[in-house]
Structures are given as structure tokens and as C-alpha cells.
Amino acid sequence: MDSILNVSGLNKSYGDFSLRDVTFSLPEGCITGFIGINGAGKTTTLRTILGLTSRESGHIQFFGMDMEKDEQQIKDRIGIVLDDGCFYDELSLNEMKNVIAPAYTSWCEQDFKNYLEQFSLNPKQKINTLSKGMKMKYALALALSHKAELLIMDEPTSGLDPMIRSQLLKILTDYMGNGGKGVFFSTHITSDLDKIADMLIMIDNGRIVFQEEKDSLLDSYRIVKGDIRSLNTDTRKLFVSISETTFGFTGITKQITEVQKCIPDIMIERPTIEDIMLGSIEGGKKDVIPFG
């Protein structure tokens, strides 16, 4: 598979917080979820790779082109949906579109009209009267109306009700079905990814923890429940994280065969993406209760 985005050795600091050697790539043809808890560095990563905020070091290539040299050409081929929208509140949807559309060589007015209709948005409505869900749909309509090959979205489902979230997920799968080369979206609502993601990248405290295909990631972990007395220094090492109560423990492991050999009478369950995310955060072994 070809990569549509390569990020390597990205470093950026904000006071106490740093992106540290962030490296990953997006394969063509995939919906990739960018996961991490609040403050993990998702927005900072996205804004940095899009050149919206400066970086200290690192190399970013979209479609084999360098962000530093070919920013304009690259942005022409990307649809971007950011948290803050960056719209002028006083303008109507149509007026704002008239500001944005000329920046794109492949702007398609008909696509834009179709999306507004599909999303039940009135082109004459003022931006400052849109609800959060409507604003997200408007941003998506703009992002989808210039034949973008890659969609990059920051927390598009955050704060949306289940119906709009499920509509959005359908739009993304349709977009891929209609020739989109990739979707990259950040979220901490991992249940959305259970449904549609092919690939997952996790960030924690400014570092990439893993990049893996969703199905093989879910296959490689197991949740284990057992008697607290079976935990000792050696068996603890078999777990990525453990939460303990007076009698029992729940742990997440990548070494299920070994666990089965060493600990009798355990219950084994398949994890969700959320279990894996919470089990993989820094300090997960001691401080966090990753699952119920």
C-alpha cells in the first residue's frame, strides 16, 4: 500500500507539553483513527502537520510532496475539518463559501449544493446561528466539495448526538466508496472507530504508542479476570495494565498463552478499542482503572 501521508521525527513544545519524535504514516485506502485521551496531543499533531502551527523539527510529506515546498498544492488536495471551524460568524453559509471556494482549483459548486441539501443546511443562515452539529456538517460540506483526496478531521464527532454521529460515519464510508484515498480523524470516542476504522494510531503524552490495523490490534490483546492471589511479580509482568479490587483483578495482556499457562481459573474476554487505549496510557499499570 502507498502512503498518502508520512510524518517523521516531529517535535514541538508548548511549555510543559511536547510532541516527541512523532512518526507515523497513513496508507492509501484507509480510514485511520487517531486516538488518545484529553491532552494527549492529537490537535497539536494535526495542526502541526497542516502547517497551522510551527514545529521545532520533523519531516512531513503528503502524496509524496514536501509540506514546506508544496503547501498550496497539498492543501488543494486535502479536506480539513477543525474543531474551531475558523469561520467568520457574521457571514451566511453561502457568503463564507464564497470566501473559501476560490482557494481550491477543483471547487465543485454542485457538490456543495448537494451536501447542503443532504445536511438540511440553509445557505442563507448565518454561521453564528448554527448549532455545533450544524457547524460540523457545514465544515464537512466545504471539505468535501473540492474533490479532496484526503480528509483530515479533528474530533468531528465530539459533542454530537448519536444520530448526527452515525450520519457522519456513513458520509465517511460513502466518501471512501466514492474514490476518497483516505480519512484521518482524531477522537476520544473510540466506539465510532469500532464501526468504521481500518487503522488506528494512538498518541499519549506527545508520543506515538502504536500504529496498527484495527482488526489485528483487537486480536492481539485480551482482557483477563482472575483471583488477586494469582498476581505476583512474575505474573504481573505479563500485563500491559492491571486494576485490582479486594478479591479480583482485571488485566489487559498481549501474552494470553503465557497467562493461561501461569494463572489458573481465569475469565478471558475480547477488549474494545477503549480498553486498549486506556490500558496503553502512560502509568496505566498502576494508576488507571482501564475497564469495568
Ligand X SMILES: Nc1ncnc2c1ncn2[C@@H]1O[C@H](COP(=O)(O)OP(=O)(O)OP(=O)(O)O)[C@@H](O)[C@H]1O
Single out the residue of 222, 213, 227 nearest to residue 276, CA to CA.
Answer: 222
Residue 119: partners with Cβ closer than 8 Å, 6 or more residues away:
134, 137, 138, 140, 141
Rounded to the nearest whole angstrom, what is the least distance from the CB of residue 186 to ligand X in the complex? 6
Is residue 190 a contact residue for ligand X (CB under 6 A)?
no
Rounded to the nearest whole angstrom, what is the least distance from the CB of residue 268 to ligand X in the complex? 31
Is residue 39 a contact residue for ligand X (CB under 6 A)?
yes
169 phi, psi to nearest 5 deg:
-60, -35
Q: Are 77 and 151 in contact (CB under 8 A)?
A: no
Q: Which of residues 49-68 bind ligand X (CB under 6 A)?
A: none
Is residue 202 a contact residue for ligand X (CB under 6 A)?
no
Nearer to ligand X, 15 or 177 (CB): 15
Is residue 254 a contact residue for ligand X (CB under 6 A)?
no
Q: How far apart are CA 20 and CA 174, in angstroms?
A: 35
Q: Which of residues 148-167 bind ligand X (CB under 6 A)?
A: 155
Site map for ligand X, 67-106, x if CB under 6 A? ----------------------------------------
Nearer to ligand X, 52 or 268 (CB): 52
Is residue 43 a contact residue for ligand X (CB under 6 A)?
yes
Q: Are 141 and 153 in contact (CB under 8 A)?
A: no
Distances (CA, A) of 83 to 155, 156, 245: 7, 7, 39
Rounded to the nearest whole angstrom, what is the least distance from the CB of residue 12 to ligand X in the complex? 9
Nearer to ligand X, 42 or 146 (CB): 42
Of 36-44, 68-76, 192-200, 271-279, the segment contacting ligand X by CB under 6 A is: 36-44
Among 59, 113, 147, 188, binds ligand X (CB under 6 A): 188
Radius of gyration over every alpha carbon of the chain, rounded to an integer in angstroms = 21
CA 218 to chain centre: 17
Rounded to the nearest whole angstrom, what is the least distance from the CB of residue 188 to ligand X in the complex? 5
Among 3, 8, 11, 17, binds ligand X (CB under 6 A): 17
Rounded to the nearest whole angstrom, what is the least distance from the CB of residue 7 to ligand X in the complex? 15
Among 33, 41, 79, 251, binds ligand X (CB under 6 A): 41
DSSP string of 203-246?
EETTEEEEEEEHHHHHHH-EEEEEEGGG--HHHHTTEEEEEE-S
CA 24 to chain centre: 13
Among 44, 157, 190, 253, binds ligand X (CB under 6 A): 44
Distances (CA, A) of 44 to 12, 31, 181, 280: 9, 20, 23, 20
Is residue 14 a contact residue for ligand X (CB under 6 A)?
yes
Interface residues toward ligand X, by CB under 6 A: 14-15, 17, 36, 38-44, 155, 188
